[in-house]
Amino acid sequence: MKRKKNRAFTLIELLAVIVILGVVMLIAVPSVTGYIDDSRKSTYVRSAKEFVDAVRLMITNRDISAKRTDTTYYVPIDYIKTDKAADS
C-alpha cells in the first residue's frame, strides 16, 4: 500500500509567511501614505494657482477692479467659476 504524500503547510511555514507580510506592510504603508499626502498637497497648490489665474483674468477683463497695488484684495470664491467636483 502506497502512502499519499502530505502536502499541507506546517505551522512554522504559515507563521513565517505572516511575519514576512507584516514586515512588507510596515514598509509599504508609510510610503503609500506619503504618496497620498504629496498628491493632495500638489492638488491644493494647483487649485490655488488656478484661482489666482482666474482672478488675474477677471482683473484683466475688468470684471473686478484692482486700483491700488499695495492693497490686498479678497475675492469671494463665488466670483470665481469653479468646477463643482473641485469644491468637494
DSSP 64: S
For residue 51, which of 85, 84, 75 has the smallest C-alpha distance? 75
- Max mean pLDDT among 1-5, 11-15, 78-82 falls in 11-15
The answer to whether 54 touches 75, Cβ cutoff 8 Å, is no
Give the 3-state secondary structure percentages of the chain, helix then strand then coil, rounded to 5. Answer: 65, 0, 35
pTM of the model as a whole:
0.48
Q: Which residue in this structure is represented by grid cell 506619503?
A: 34
Q: Which residue in this structure is represented by grid cell 500500500?
A: 1
pLDDT in tens, 43-83: 888 888 888 888 888 878 877 776 766 777 676 666 666 56
The answer to whether 8 touches 14, Cβ cutoff 8 Å, is no
- Interatomic CA distance for residues 53 and 77, integer angstroms: 13
Q: Which residue in this structure is represented by grid cell 484661482?
A: 51
